[in-house]
Amino acid sequence: MSSAKTAKPSLFIVGAPKCGTTAWVQYLKTHPDICFSPIKEPHYFCFDLKWRYFHSEQEYLKLFEGCGSAKVVAEASVRYLVSTAAAENIKRFDPEAKIIIFVRDQADHLPSLHNQMLYRSEDWIEDFEEAWKLSDQRAGSTSARTKEPKFLDYKALGRFSEQVERYFDTFPADQIRLFHFRDWSRDPRQTYLEILRFGGLPDDGRTDFPKINEAKHQRARWLAGLLIKPPQLLRPLARLLKRLPGNPVDKLVGMGLRLNRRPGYLGETSEALRDEIRAYYAADNALLEPRIWKPSRTGS
């Protein structure tokens, strides 16, 4: 793991989205020996994607300036899993990096991801079944609504086996831990202990693992779209106001989104569609299963 002097991240939670990554950052960041970047998802190593917030290593490493005394310096960027470049880029940055991956039953994962895309106004098809059936027709979309049109291809996003194998092809197996939502949600304490063992850290006695980042949607989607992506004519003014002390634009947008927020999913997924999704990924998941850490064992 990284030394206190370098304050370089060497523990990476690489995804997948909506599989518990936010919860696990919250659980782990309270450990006295772990320091996460203050921005949860810098996405620096996704050189192949537009979804990056930092574009130079110097800029990226500034995120960890406050982590000098930590035994483990970490970050979590859920797009690293779908990125075709991130694994190799992380390997070049730190050949001894430790990788944590979370996956989930696609029949739960994909509707949740679609709901999140709607919440962020990155998708505009409200019916998940329609979005699912159009998956492979939307990857080339040129809509300004989404930063990465490939994230509208839900079928491709659910093929975890090929995404996970990029990391096993790049790093030794003992530098990777793959956890399934069904396992860690059943016994988060045991998964927590395994992650601490993996990172070479002592148990701090944590036993509380509350639900975090539960599903939500925007009551008025037109308002959310207006707040997140203002009309072209207003964008220069918004950029100007963002430079003011305290960034009043982001505060107002955040307040508006919170007031417009409602718990739960915008729609329900039928059992017939859930069965179709499970059948679609059956072969893929059979390949993935041997890679998943099981609570009954402590190895990879």
Residue 235's Cα: distance from chain center in Å? 27
What does the pLDDT look like over 65-92, one tens digit per residue?
A: 999 889 999 999 999 999 999 999 999 9
Sequence-distant (6+) residues with CB within 8 A of 255 are none
Q: How big is the chain, counted in residues?
A: 300
Quick one: pLDDT at residue 221? Answer: 61
Q: Which of 77, 37, 80 is nearest to 59 (CA)?
A: 37
Q: Is the dihedral of CA 138, 154, 77, 22 positive or negative?
A: positive
- Domains of the chain are 11-215+264-291 (3.40.50.300)
Give mean pLDDT, residues 148-161.
92
Residue 273 pLDDT > 90: yes
Mean of pLDDT over the chain:
86
**pTM for this structure?**
0.82
Between CA 258 and CA 207 the distance in angstroms is: 30
Residue 59: both structure tokens together: 């800029």
End-to-end CA distance of the chain: 18
